[in-house]
Amino acid sequence: MKSRERLLKAIRKEKVDRIPVAPWGLGKLDPHSDVARQLITKTDILIEASPGADPFWGEYINSLQVVEEGFFHLSTPAGEFYWRLRRTDITQAIVEYPFKSPADAERFLSLPYRRPSFSLKNFFELRSWIGDEGLVLVGIPNGVCLPASFFSPEDFCLNWALNPSLIRKLTEVGTERVIAMVEELCREGVDAFRIIGGEYVTQQLGPKGVDSLLKPYDIPLIETIHRYGAIAYYHNHGKVKRFLGDLKALGMDALDPLEAPPWGDVELGEAQKMIGDAVCLVGNLDDMEILNKMDEEMVKNIALERIKDIKPRGFILGGTASGIFGERAARNFIALAEMMGN
């Protein structure tokens, strides 16, 4: 059974020839290296493609004025706002967010929205390159990513407490824009999506936030994906045990990364009993603390312990989707896939 078929069957909770072992992307590997090629051919790799545009900004992403390196400015009918990005040789981070007050959010909402032109060049190139050796998914945000990433984490939480109607409005607008994008991408041939953003709510706002900001908006997003026959694969970091029932209710096909203690709180056998056969569970091995640090035998023993209480149907053994693992983790992924095949 080829990896793409194995992954699709697992996601659909169908019988597979062995438990899939799925690294999330190539981490920090050189994609043209021998170890990267082995990772692709010997595991059941999941690869994320870009939709080629930002659904929240739309065409205004091309109107941003760069005042200086890392300093962005935009004029709106309701006034001006700006933000700052700081870069180093290693990484980059926002140091001043676009929304510093509710007034900035209102300025953003005053912009007449113009849908962006999406490009699936990256998706089709990756799918051609990977072939049947893995599954390529287009990465998309959910609606709550609009307020959660345009406000600082602190201001996002404070405005949820002090100005919840604004956060709901921004989430509604964000969802409308993402759904419009999804429909266009599905018509162009995308058959699998990976949705991010849930952890902004589960880890920062709690149960009331889930009821108000995930269920009313992510359910129609996932229903749209399913209406076109595509896969809805959901990402939610952190301690999610208490939210498994709520996440199941969103209707996704698969959920990652289901971190185990001490970084998370998910034990696979228990999670499978809680979530039933409705959702394919993905992950449970830490990319950096286990796969990238421990030797092969230790990793194999931990993996066997983790999966001993699960039903093999509807499960994919993976990492924590860090995207930053190195060669040691890659070779451990390969060793796990070989072990599962025996």
Segment 97-156, tens digit of pLDDT: 999 999 999 999 999 999 998 999 999 999 999 999 999 999 999 999 999 999 999 999
Average pLDDT over all residues of the chain: 95
What local confidence, expressed as pLDDT, does residue 342 receive?
60
What local confidence, expressed as pLDDT, does residue 59 receive?
86
What local confidence, expressed as pLDDT, does residue 68 receive?
77
Same domain membership, residue 101 and residue 202: no
Distance of CA 214 to the CA centre of its chain: 15
Contact 193, 233 (CB under 8 A): yes
- pLDDT tens-digit readout, 53-100: 999 999 887 777 777 788 988 889 999 889 999 988 878 899 999 999
Contact 248, 276 (CB under 8 A): yes
Helices (H), ranges, the chain = 3-11, 34-42, 102-109, 121-130, 145-150, 153-162, 164-187, 198-202, 207-209, 215-227, 244-249, 268-275, 296-307, 327-341
Over residues 258-267, the mean pLDDT reads: 95
- pLDDT tens-digit readout, 163-196: 999 999 999 999 999 999 999 999 999 999 999 9
Residue 244 has pLDDT above 70, yes or no: yes
Of the pLDDT bands very low, low, confident and very high (cuts 50, 70, 90), residue 3 is very high
What local confidence, expressed as pLDDT, does residue 21 receive?
98
Beta-carbon contacts of residue 263 (< 8 Å; ≥ 6 apart): 286, 289, 320
DSSP state of 260: P
Task: From 111, 128, 150, give the residue that closes a domain.
Answer: 111
Task: From 111, 126, 149, give the residue that closes a domain.
Answer: 111
Q: Contacts from 242-246 at CB under 8 Å and sequence distance 24+?
A: 242/207, 243/202, 243/207, 243/210, 244/271, 244/274, 244/275, 245/274, 245/275, 246/207, 246/210, 246/211, 246/214, 246/215
What local confidence, expressed as pLDDT, does residue 241 receive?
96
What local confidence, expressed as pLDDT, does residue 276 receive?
79
Token pair in block for residue 332: 């451990």
Same domain membership, residue 104 and residue 173: no
**Residue numbers of the domain that contains 104:** 61-111
In 10 A of CB 68, how many CB atoms? 8
Same domain membership, residue 177 and residue 139: yes
Q: What residues pair up with 196 in beta bridges, in sequence order?
A: 141
What local confidence, expressed as pLDDT, does residue 4 receive?
98
What strands lie across the sheet with 21-22, from one edge to the other?
21-22, 315-318, 280-284, 254-256, 231-235, 192-196, 134-141, 45-49
Same domain membership, residue 249 and residue 101: no
Same domain membership, residue 145 and residue 282: yes
Same domain membership, residue 216 and residue 94: no
Over residues 22-26, the mean pLDDT reads: 97
Same domain membership, residue 316 and residue 257: yes
Same domain membership, residue 95 and residue 213: no
Same domain membership, residue 184 and residue 169: yes
Same domain membership, residue 42 and residue 76: no
Same domain membership, residue 67 and residue 51: no
Same domain membership, residue 127 and residue 67: no
Task: From 111, 126, 142, give the residue that closes a domain.
Answer: 111
Half-sphere exposure of 206 (CA within 13 A, CB side): 4
CATH number for the domain spanning 230: value is 3.20.20.210
What local confidence, expressed as pLDDT, does residue 208 receive?
95
How many structural domains compose the chain?
2
